[in-house]
Amino acid sequence: MDQPQKWTETIEDKHSLFDLKLKEVWRYKDLVYMFVKRDFVSGFKQTILGPIWFFINPILTTIVYLIVFGKIANLPTDGAPKLLFYLAGVTLWNYFSSALTGTSYTFSGNAAIFGKVYFPRLVTPISIVISNLMRFGVQMLLFVIVWIYYLSKGEIHPNWWWILITPFLILLMAVFALGTGMIFSSLTTKYKDLNMILGFGVSLYMYATPVIYPASALTGVFKKVSYYNPLTGIFECFKYSWLGVGDFSPLMLGISTIIIFIIFMIGLIIFNKVEKTFMDTV
């Protein structure tokens, strides 16, 4: 009786849902750089003012908020100068919203590239987060200039040690935008309707986040619910650090960190699962 044939080599799918593929992404770091450069440059091609728009956008938005929410609605700012308070919120929100929106179109916006050549798909959302981080750096410079002006006048009293945690706050925003963006990007390959409601949903989310008002202005159930908004701890910590105001506690930031980590892991699992078959549905 013939012995059953033994295979000399077995090819198996070693793709893990929890695999970050960081080593593979690092090998494609030049591609990340190219994507970052592409996103940064393409946004200002055939524009007259170019990168100056980095400054114009937060300035105009802050002025509108100052008039509508500061003068007309007369929302409180915990005693901080209203111009600086709104500029702080706008600077953080612009980064998060643009990074989230950009990563949300990873699959649908790059289907043509993904269908022709292989590279770690995680390269694309990471490059989007980094390119938006460069824009954030420019707008943060504007915030610091205005902040120094009010500091020299003695109108703000920062908590200097807490300012050192700013890079961690930026990292949390980046991870949150990346995780949430991966979830939306994966789901939109099958459910196109999500593309329609994404922009509207991001706008609504801004009003659920203490961008134009302090968390101390919330009461009752709204205040309790705000603690579970991952951005609440980040925004309140930033304002507490730089402006010396805000209803901030380390527990609030701890809750934000835990929720963001969970959302990122969920996004990573969904992204890794969808990237193997998305070309069939995109």
Structure token digits, residue 113: 């590239």
Residue 209 forms part of a structural domain: yes
Structure token digits, residue 157: 């009293």
User: Biggest alpha carbon distance in the chain?
Assistant: 95
Residue 208 forms part of a structural domain: yes
pLDDT reading at 86 higher than 70: yes
Question: 164-188 pLDDT, tens per residue?
Answer: 999 999 999 999 999 999 888 888 8
pLDDT reading at 2 higher than 70: no
Residue 162 forms part of a structural domain: yes
Residue 226 forms part of a structural domain: yes
Span 199-205, mean pLDDT?
88
- What is the percent of the chain with per-residue pLDDT over 70, rounded to a whole number? 82
Span 79-103, mean pLDDT?
93
| Tally of helices (H runs) and strands (E runs) in the chain | 13, 0
Residue 35 forms part of a structural domain: yes
Question: 140-153 pLDDT, tens per residue?
Answer: 999 999 999 999 99
115 Cβ neighbours under 8 A, 6+ residues apart: 279
pLDDT reading at 109 higher than 80: no
Residue 11 forms part of a structural domain: no
Span 119-127, mean pLDDT?
81
Is-contact 274 107, C-beta < 8 A? yes
**pLDDT computed for residue 11 by the predictor:** 46
Question: 25-57 pLDDT, tens per residue?
Answer: 778 778 888 888 777 666 666 555 566 777 888
**pLDDT computed for residue 22 by the predictor:** 66
- What is the percent of the chain with per-residue pLDDT over 90, rounded to a whole number? 41
Total count of domains within the chain = 1
Domain that includes residue 34, residue range: 22-280
**pLDDT computed for residue 83 by the predictor:** 94
Residue 53 forms part of a structural domain: yes
Residue 245 forms part of a structural domain: yes
274 Cβ neighbours under 8 A, 6+ residues apart: 107, 186, 189
Of residues 226 and 20, more confidently modeled: 226
Mean pLDDT of the chain: 83
Q: Is the pTM of this model over 0.95?
A: no
Is-contact 76 217, C-beta < 8 A? yes
220 band by pLDDT with thresholds 50, 70 and 90: confident
